[in-house]
């Protein structure tokens, strides 16, 4: 029996993802036993403020990646939208699993859609992207910073400290909380974060044995879609905390990528879409990124960076 130590964050959603990978590996390898190793990350500890106001990066992956590099775990499971587009030296994404619903979800106390929320309604989110798009499309609404795991955020809503929340559909669905969703937002307009809804298994680049073990978990269409989205993000030199969305859909041999960048106040923005062959997602991501750069996307994002 081969024992693989799987590193993960300790949140309810992260553990769901880790147990999912554990079950998938057990279904294809009878001689493998997966031990789940919860690891507290910087982002889990620093809950006092919005991540966009904190210095540093890789808030939800750095400690786990460190454990992987030093050999105390054999693989790591991440929400791919939290993973930097430039991998630490020695690590690779060994498998990208089939994506869940990539859209953003509105969860409203009174069951209203975004357009029906009253003037001054408080919408909770910690995402700069969601804030920027909300301010651009619904300037009469007020954003409120909320941090914490999914149940914690729902508790804030239920106590009346917000009128609605913006969350990822995938997280709510995976935790069997999809019934709380008031509406699933149009990804062509309220463009999701790059790789939203996707789960990745990270491994050491030189660990051929583990790489072969997790190979059956790879979902090709999801990998190609998120590669296009993450290339777009990388070309624009964006991180996890930028007001930028990118979403690709694969249909057979073709792929369509839509992207949007907005200023934090919602006053400026660019968007675009591009189709191309699905076997070259990096080219599609680069081409659309350069097109939006020419239309002002880089200037918008530059306003958020320290001088």
Residues known to be catalytic: 82
- Bridging pattern class, strands 91-96 and 164-168: unpaired
Which residue bears the tokens 């554990």?
22
Burial classification of residue 71, based on how many CB atoms lie within 10 Å of its CB (0-12 exposed, 13-18 middle, 19 or more buried) = exposed
Largest Cα separation within the chain, whole Å, is 60
Contact (CB, 8 A) for 143 and 93: no
The total of other beta-carbon atoms located within 10 Å of residue 67's CB is: 17
Please tell me the distance from the alpha carbon of residue 129 to that of residue 132, in angstroms, as a whole number: 5
To the nearest 10 degrees (0 to 180), the angle between helices 220-235 and 281-294 is: 30
SS3 104: strand
Please tell me the distance from the alpha carbon of residue 211 to that of residue 221, in angstroms, as a whole number: 19
The length of the chain, given as a count of residues: 307
Show the 3-state SS of 156-193.
Answer: HHHCCCCCEEEEEHHHHHHCCCHHHCCEECCCCCCCCC
Structure tokens at 74: 């054999």
Please tell me the distance from the alpha carbon of residue 19 to that of residue 26, in angstroms, as a whole number: 10
Contact (CB, 8 A) for 208 and 244: no
């Amino acid at each position: 029996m081969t024992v693989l130590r799987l590193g993960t964050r300790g949140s309810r959603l992260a553990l769901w993802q880790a147990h999912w990978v554990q079950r998938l590996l057990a279904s294809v390898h009878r001689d493998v036993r997966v031990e789940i190793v919860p690891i507290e990350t910087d982002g889990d500890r620093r809950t006092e403020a919005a991540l966009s106001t904190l210095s540093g990066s890789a808030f939800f992956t750095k400690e786990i990646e460190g454990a992987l590099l030093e050999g105390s775990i054999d693989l790591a499971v991440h929400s791919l939208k939290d993973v930097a587009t430039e991998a630490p030296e020695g690590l690779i994404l060994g498998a990208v699993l089939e994506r869940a619903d990539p859209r953003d979800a509105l969860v409203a106390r009174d069951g209203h859609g975004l357009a029906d929320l009253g003037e001054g309604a408080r919408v909770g989110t910690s995402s700069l992207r969601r804030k920027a798009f909300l301010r651009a499309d619904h300037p009469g609404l007020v954003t409120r910073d909320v941090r914490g795991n999914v149940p914690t955020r729902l508790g804030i809503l239920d106590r009346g400290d917000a009128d609605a929340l913006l969350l990822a559909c995938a997280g709510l669905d995976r935790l069997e909380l999809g019934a709380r969703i008031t509406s699933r937002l149009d990804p062509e307009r309220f463009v999701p974060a790059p790789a939203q809804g996707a789960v990745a298994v990270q491994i050491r680049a030189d660990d051929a044995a583990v790489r072969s073990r997790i190979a059956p978990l790879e979902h090709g269409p999801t990998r190609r879609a998120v590669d296009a989205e993450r290339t777009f993000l990388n070309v624009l030199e964006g991180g996890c905390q930028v007001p930028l969305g990118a979403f690709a859909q694969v249909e057979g041999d073709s792929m369509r990528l839509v992207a949007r960048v907005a200023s934090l106040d919602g006053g400026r923005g660019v968007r675009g879409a591009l189709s191309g062959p699905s076997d070259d997602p990096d080219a599609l991501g680069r081409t659309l990124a350069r097109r939006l750069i020419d239309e002002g996307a880089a200037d918008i994002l530059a306003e958020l960076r320290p001088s």
